Amino acid sequence: MGAKKSLLGNIGNLYDMDKYRELHWDGTFEEYLELVKADPRIVRTAYQRMYDMVMSYGTEEYVDNKKKIIKYPFFSDPDNKGRDAIYGLDIPLMRLLNVFKAAAFEYGTEKRIILLHGPVGSAKSTIARLLKKGLEKYSKTEDGKLYTFYWFLPPELQHLSGGEERFDDPMNEDPLKLIPDDWRTSALESLKIKTGEYPVKIRGSLNPASRFIFDALMKHYEGDWKEVVSHVRVRRLLFSEKDRVGIGTFQPKDEKNQDSTELTGDVNYRKIAIYGSDSDPRAFNFDGEFCVANRGIIEFVEILKLDVAFLYDLLGATQERKIKPKKFAQTDIDEVILGHTNEPEYRKLLGNEYMEALRDRTVKIDIPYITKYSREVEIYKKDFNETNVRGKHIAPHTIEMAAMWAVLTRLEDPKKHNLTLLQKLKLYDGKTLTGFTQDNVKELRKEALREGLNGISPRFIQDKLSNALVSDKTESSINPFLVLNEIEGGLKTHSLISNEEERNRYRELLSIVKQEYEDIVKNEVRRAISSDEEGIANLCANYIECINAYTRKKKVKNKFTGQYEEPDERLMRSIEEKIDIQEGRKDDFRRTIMNTVGEAAIDGKVFTYKTDERLLKALENKLFDDQKDLINFSRNLVDRENQEKIDVVKKRLIDDYGYNDESATDVLNFTTSIFARGDSNKEE
């Protein structure tokens, strides 16, 4: 028994009782007024609280194409280790925060629906989910605290609450609403609340249920307001989507099984027997999504699929910030109304003249697909990495090539500048191309108005990566060609590809990506073969000796015969040609190298093959050409000497480039076929 107590005690000690008491604070109305006086942020509106919540995570700034971009770390989901992190949407998120800021300062957008619009899989739902989770957490912090109230009634007054001692305000109203309209300005002045970022206001009236009890108590106490609020207990309010407090979600369903009471609440028929009338506000359940979300946020999933019956409630909730529960007067609400929709539904909205009122009350924020290749890569590496993927190795460039193809499908063909689509992708990603400036990139973006609103969703790529990982076509790894083949196969049955012309374009883009991958692995294998430091050093020494003799018009001593001979022109040209040094420019290049050698000596340094980048590239290419002919990767029976050379190259690919044994072997076999193909083309 003692052991059990100890175990329970160990678990119980993990819980912070002081924190619990703080989060479940309960006090009088007067104590609440003291809290408001000390910290007026307590009575912020829903938009003010939303904006401050995002800003509480700080901001970061960077410049992209000469434009200052503000990045909000909140959308990197730091609280959940980036599980719902948003990548590559800094500009749309900046626009969203500008809307929140304008609404927080009550410039008009607080009376609008915020509509996230974009293609499927562009992170609209993820943004909404982050905002809801953020508000939940923020309400539990010191900076984000807010309060509501309940009525505490003695036995002689419990007939007002159906025999219950406690009657909770059904819409979690701010206790300041208990101050009658006529007194509010004077009451706030008498409190002498210090001015914060937002002016303190009391907005709207009590909901019908609390107003009924308030009026009954005022009548009972013959207008003595202080006696009325003595029955008020104020408590800390904690948002919770699971408990349906401060966060509501509405999703259209079958019209036969759904009506507008899901938004505004409905009569509780069991309570009619207690209160005697279905028009008694105490017999009404204020549990519709608008009521639940009061003081927080309501998310409308696929908002434009709403039936017309819901539209009227939505229009009033946006412009007037009021809802109309059945059989009751209009009731004030204060909440962020956030909806999201896909492209086809939005086009239908534009063509429907009956939806004009909704369009007029909507602020549209485009949430496109990512068009920056490196940010797209981050999406997949979040889910497909060494921690999450067990049992199979992901070969280098596998995720990158899949991401490259996905981004290419979203880009529009350049209308000018004589650019390829692949070059455009690289420019968007911040790469530099000769002859192109940041102004050119801005021009490219301006001419492509719908870029990012079409193309392939990240979900499709994630599905194909998953298919490749469980495939039995390889033993220990997956490579780019396996994934690209999965993608090509998936194009045949992709439900969102509307015509064969689009399907053929996507196949052509796969060919572009495969060619890019060929170039990448050729360079990697070339560097792996030519990264024999001793071999490069010896080749460099021979070259320097030859050009030293050449520029000084002297001869070179042959190490084997001891005879003095002319510098080896064939050796020098074979190296220089690897970096396109023409015959007429060879003297200038050789003098430049010798000047670099001399400057190094003057500075007390030793010239090595790493000193000059162009020379290093030439030496690597020369050594590669010499070595690749000596290493026969495709021979069925490999002799011991050749196998040792292959093993050295393979080890470099594994150690320096991140391959495993299987993927390194695949790359060597693949590049062998490329080089063989190149040699046969030369012979022809």
Type of residue found at 334: D
Position 434 confidence tier, pLDDT thresholds 50, 70, 90: low
C-alpha 101/C-alpha 107 separation (Å) is 9
What is the predicted pLDDT for the residue at 681? 45
470-524 per-position pLDDT tens digit: 888 888 899 999 999 999 999 988 877 878 899 999 999 999 999 999 989 888 8
What is the predicted pLDDT for the residue at 122? 92
Type of residue found at 503: R
C-alpha 313/C-alpha 330 separation (Å) is 11
C-alpha 226/C-alpha 400 separation (Å) is 68
SS3 letters across 369-436: CCCCHHHHHHHHHHHCCCCCCCCCEECCCHHHHHHHHHHHHHCCCCCCCCCCHHHHHHHHCCCCCCCC
C-alpha 94/C-alpha 402 separation (Å) is 28
Rounded mean pLDDT, 526-532: 75
Residues with Cβ < 8 Å from 599, sequence gap 6 or more? none
Q: Strands 297-301 and 336-341, how do they pair?
A: parallel
Instruction: Check residue 245 and report its DSSP letter.
Output: B
Q: Is residue 580 scored above 50 in pLDDT?
A: yes
488-500 per-position pLDDT tens digit: 999 988 877 878 8
Lowest pLDDT segment from 23-32, 119-128, 319-328, 492-501? 492-501
81-100 per-position pLDDT tens digit: 899 999 999 999 999 999 99
Residues with Cβ < 8 Å from 655, sequence gap 6 or more? none
Q: Which two tokens stand for residue 216?
A: 């009954």
Largest Cα–Cα distance of the chain, in whole Å?
125
User: What secondary structure does DSSP assign to 300-345, as a single string?
Assistant: EETGGG--HHHHHHHHHHHHTSEE--TTS--EE---EEEEEE-HHH
What is the predicted pLDDT for the residue at 682? 43
Q: Which two tokens stand for residue 238?
A: 């904690």
Q: Is residue 5 scored above 60 in pLDDT?
A: no
Query: In Å, how far from its chain's centre is CA 363?
Result: 21
C-alpha 104/C-alpha 36 separation (Å) is 19
Rounded mean pLDDT, 457-479: 90
Residues with Cβ < 8 Å from 527, sequence gap 6 or more? 620
Q: Can you name the residues that pair with 471 across neighbouring β-strands?
A: none
What's the half-sphere exposure (Cβ side, CA atoms, 13 Å) at 627? Answer: 23
215-229 per-position pLDDT tens digit: 999 999 999 999 999
What is the predicted pLDDT for the residue at 680? 43
Contact between residue 619 and residue 521 where contact means Cβ atoms under 8 Å apart: no
Lowest pLDDT segment from 409-423, 447-461, 668-682? 668-682
Q: Which two tokens stand for residue 615?
A: 């020379």
- Determine the 3-state secondary structure of 125 from DSSP: helix
User: What secondary structure does DSSP assign to 453-489, as a single string?
Assistant: SSS--HHHHHHHHHHHHH-SSSSSEE-HHHHHHHHHH
Range among 152-166, 182-196, 244-258 rated most confident: 152-166
299-331 per-position pLDDT tens digit: 999 888 777 777 778 888 998 999 999 888 899
Measured at the CA of 174, the angle between CA 195 and CA 339, to 5 degrees, comes to 95
C-alpha 313/C-alpha 309 separation (Å) is 8
Q: Can you name the residues that pair with 331 across neighbouring β-strands?
A: 323
C-alpha 617/C-alpha 609 separation (Å) is 9
C-alpha 356/C-alpha 343 separation (Å) is 18
Q: Which strand (E) or helix (H) includes residue 275? A: helix 269-275
Torsion, CA 514, CA 517, CA 521, CA 522, rounded to 10: 70
Of 509 and 432, the structure prediction assigns the larger pLDDT to 509
Q: Can you name the residues that pair with 148 across neighbouring β-strands?
A: 235
Q: Is residue 683 scored above 80 in pLDDT?
A: no
Position 207 confidence tier, pLDDT thresholds 50, 70, 90: very high
φ, ψ of residue 556 to 5 degrees: the values are -115, 135
Measured at the CA of 463, the angle between CA 462 and CA 464, to 5 degrees, comes to 90
For the chain, what percentages of helix, strand and coil (3-state, to nearest 5) are there? 55, 10, 35
Q: Which two tokens stand for residue 163?
A: 């025999």
User: What secondary structure does DSSP assign to 601-665, as a single string?
Assistant: HHTT----TTS-HHHHHHHHHHHHHHHHTT--SS-SS--HHHHHHHHHHHHHHHHHH---HHHHH
Range among 242-246, 277-281, 382-386 rated most confident: 242-246
CA pseudo-torsion sign 12, 18, 23, 28: positive
Q: Which two tokens stand for residue 233?
A: 């207990």
Closest CA to 298 of 253, 258, 333, 254: 333
C-alpha 251/C-alpha 125 separation (Å) is 12
Measured at the CA of 318, the angle between CA 312 and CA 323, to 5 degrees, comes to 60
Q: Where are the alpha helices (DSSP H) in 24-116?
A: 29-38, 46-55, 90-104
C-alpha 679/C-alpha 684 separation (Å) is 9
Contact between residue 149 and residue 169 where contact means Cβ atoms under 8 Å apart: yes
C-alpha 403/C-alpha 386 separation (Å) is 18
Rounded mean pLDDT, 449-462: 91
The number of residues in the chain equals: 684
315-372 per-position pLDDT tens digit: 889 989 999 998 888 999 999 999 999 887 888 777 777 678 888 889 999 999 999 9
C-alpha 655/C-alpha 649 separation (Å) is 10
622-642 per-position pLDDT tens digit: 887 777 665 555 555 456 767
Rounded mean pLDDT, 556-563: 80
Contact between residue 345 and residue 304 where contact means Cβ atoms under 8 Å apart: yes
Q: Can you name the residues that pair with 506 across neighbouring β-strands?
A: none
Q: Can you name the residues that pair with 113 across neighbouring β-strands?
A: 362
What is the separation, in whole angstroms, between the first and last Cα of the chain? 89
Rounded mean pLDDT, 38-52: 95
pTM: 0.84
φ, ψ of residue 570 to 5 degrees: the values are -65, -40
Contact between residue 528 and residue 656 where contact means Cβ atoms under 8 Å apart: yes
CA pseudo-torsion sign 190, 191, 193, 199: negative
Contact between residue 539 and residue 619 where contact means Cβ atoms under 8 Å apart: yes
Contact between residue 581 and residue 619 where contact means Cβ atoms under 8 Å apart: no
Position 679 confidence tier, pLDDT thresholds 50, 70, 90: very low
Contact between residue 521 and residue 671 where contact means Cβ atoms under 8 Å apart: yes
Using DSSP, how many helices (H) and how many strands (E) does the chain show?
28, 19
Torsion, CA 641, CA 647, CA 652, CA 658, rounded to 10: 170
52-76 per-position pLDDT tens digit: 999 999 999 998 877 899 999 999 9
Contact between residue 473 and residue 489 where contact means Cβ atoms under 8 Å apart: no
Calculate the average pLDDT of the chain.
87
C-alpha 505/C-alpha 499 separation (Å) is 10
